[in-house]
Amino acid sequence: MAVWFHRVTRRVVCATGLALATAAWGQSAAPAQPEKVLRYAFRVAETGFDPAQLSDLYSRILAASIFDALYMYDYLARPFKVVPNVADGMPEVSADFRTWTVKLRKGIHFASDPAFNGQKRELTAHDFVYSFKRIADPKTKSPSFSSLNEEKFVGLAALRKAAEQPGAKFDYDTEIEGIRALDRYTIQFKVEEPRPRFLYSLADGSIVGAVAREVVEKYGDKIMEHPVGTGPFKLSEWRRSSKIVMVRNPDYREEFYKAEPPKDDPLSQAIYAKMKGKRLPMIDKVQVDIIEENQPRWLAFLNAEHDFLERLPEEVVNQAIPNGRVAPNLAKKGITMDRGLALDVVLTYFAMDHPVIGGYTPEKVALRRAIALAYNSDEEIRLPRRNQAVVSQGPIYPGMYGHDPNFRSEMGTFDRARAMALLDMYGYTDKNGDTHVARFQVNEDRNTADPDSELLILKIDQPYSNHNGGQLQFGPDKML
């Protein structure tokens, strides 16, 4: 669950989702109007702005507003839908889902940069070929290569392998069947196996956004601080781990906001009604401060230093939104709230090579299932998370395409009776001594005995070396 706070100001009222850099509530810019600035804070510092080298969320949030992918998401659609961005329509796909052909829109240009020697630089299919190949170049050390390699582009693995030889370099000029430009405005992808969901790999500008070869070659190792794309914004100021400023790209194409919100979603319809047909971007500048600690970030918002608070800190939930509503003192200041499910997940996993927890024999599977059944996720949501989360019944969680709200995992319920029955069935006994598993009866504050509340405690007597070389030791009072 994520909560976004917005402050009503003359400059900007709100931004929505990852579209914050291209869509904000307000009126289209006019020469006589004051500059419209969106100010907010990141919880984690950025690393840079080169799509091929990025792995962190916050750098990618900004990069997605600087670089264009072939496709993008309609964030008001439910479920989210992939729509053309710089592509001229949806791709032509072969019956076996192995060949994908995409046409580009003409007349789209990169932001002006000295790398272009004063000339306007049009986006072409060759730019996308080069950008995909950069991810495969060993010199780039792209964290996205493993995902790209899973697509199995015909000829790409061989091209990379040749570049991995001693003294060799990646040959960008060698054409491969898997990623090639058929002409100036047509790019074709061929994969070794059917990939019916390949479209989604073409919709993230923060990874597969188009970069110009001239820019990469001009700035070399400094490319992370010299992003030049075709998106609505360009980098204006960057103080590492402190402040980032992006301004409207004056070379950005004529683009107007459009979306397809569901008719039965009043909030989405209201957002669409305010933004429909407005030229993008709707704001002039985005200023981001890096404030890693929750308390000063919250105070900066209260002090009107920021217009937007991304994710309300859990420790101030009771103060800011008692009973799920904006506190009256905040509402008087014009502060509003948007609340929705964040597309992320927190999970607990088992070390499968652990001598007690790991293994695939029936009794080991039963032990892990018992632990899962004995864990009270609802209590975790209610107490430390202040009711700002929901339980997911599997890896396809609420908000994702394909989620079934009626699905219930066999191990997705809190049931200590079933947990203890599983342990009994597979020979785990309550010895209350030098044991692996013990059973205790406690009440909610875990101080006095209460037969209606049983807490399963797993005791591991021997130390276990994890993959980082550390020791994991669980004593009699440690819960797993």
Q: Which two three-digit tokens encode residue 197? A: 């969901």
| pLDDT of 346 | 84
| pLDDT of 441 | 30
| pLDDT of 312 | 92
| pLDDT of 379 | 92
Residues of the chain with pLDDT under 50: 9-30, 433-456, 459-480
| pLDDT of 457 | 52
Bridge pairing between strands 335-340 and 2-7? antiparallel
Q: DSSP string spanning 306-358?
A: -SEEES--GGGHHHHSGGGS--HHHHTTTEEEEEE--S--------TT-TTT-
Tens-place pLDDT, residues 231-251: 999 999 999 999 999 999 999
Distance CA 295, CA 367 (A): 40
| pLDDT of 427 | 85
The SS3 assignment for 474 reads: strand
| pLDDT of 298 | 96
Residue 217 contacts by C-beta under 8 Å, 6 or more apart in sequence? 115
